[in-house]
A = this chain, B = another copy of it.
Amino acid sequence: MNFLLVYAHNEPKSFTASLHNAAQSILTQQGHQVVTSDLFGVGFHPVAERYDFTTLSGEHYNYMNEQEVAAKHDLAYSPDIIEEIQKVKTADVVLFFFPLWWNAPPAMLKGWFDRVLTKGTAWDGNHLFSTGLLRGKAAGVVVSVGDPENFYRPDGLHKATVQQMLYPLLHGTLAFCGFNVLEPFVAYGLTAANDFGIQEQLRDCSVRLSNIESNPRFIYKF
């Protein structure tokens, strides 16, 4: 299968980097084609603006409308967006590696969603959720969390699970575009983790990723 790994961490020695590197090596060993978008590494620009389009409709400027117009004009997007769209089109599975910052993806990764999953290539008014333009592909997140798991319970500090925190991404973005969304892999408690805990989480993640086709689907329950 073709894998796209979208990796968003600013530090090569981070645990998120280790998770990404482990995934890359396991999936490659299994004979998959693996491509990485290293967003911090390439200095990806996360801000959605007019320069994202090589043509403008001339109508009242609205970013989403311009996305749709550009899709119809042979992908009239800036080159960095076209490159990412092509990677997504080629992929059977897209995996996102990121740290949970403010209970959400870092701005760098949010900008990838804002700019790359365009109206006209990832979804449109007639193609969303089960009919989304990326249907048939799978998507999953591998997320590093500083706090321990018991902080992410109804009676814990955050009063919600990480899955609930990520609902805007898992359901509101990935499922919206038609992806089959996998149950997230969450590495908890990294702030206080020792080497042993870290190695164990790396191993758990590797096991999950080496059996990607039998991974559970994300089913959201409030």
Contact flags A165-192 to B (C-beta < 8 A → 1, else 0) = 1011101110000000000000000000
Residue of B nearest to A110 (CB): B107
Q: Are A164 and B222 in contact (CB under 8 A)?
A: yes
Interface size class of A (residues with CB under 8 A): 35 or more
A61: Cβ under 8 A from any B Cβ: yes
Residue in contact with A11 in the complex, picked from B61, B105, B114, B158, CB distance below 8 Å:
B61
Which residues of the other chain, B, contact A107 by a CB distance below 8 angstroms? Answer: 46-48, 107-108, 110-111, 114
Which residues of the other chain, B, contact A47 by a CB distance below 8 angstroms? Answer: 10, 40, 46, 107-108
Residue in contact with A172 in the complex, picked from B50, B102, B169, CB distance below 8 Å:
B102
Residue in contact with A110 in the complex, picked from B50, B110, B154, B173, CB distance below 8 Å:
B110
Q: Are A168 and B102 in contact (CB under 8 A)?
A: yes
A104: Cβ under 8 A from any B Cβ: yes
Which residues of the other chain, B, contact A169 by a CB distance below 8 angstroms? Answer: 102, 104
A220: Cβ under 8 A from any B Cβ: yes
In the A-B complex, list the 6 residue pairs whose CB atoms are closest, starting with the nearest.
Answer: A107-B111, A103-B172, A103-B168, A107-B110, A46-B107, A107-B107
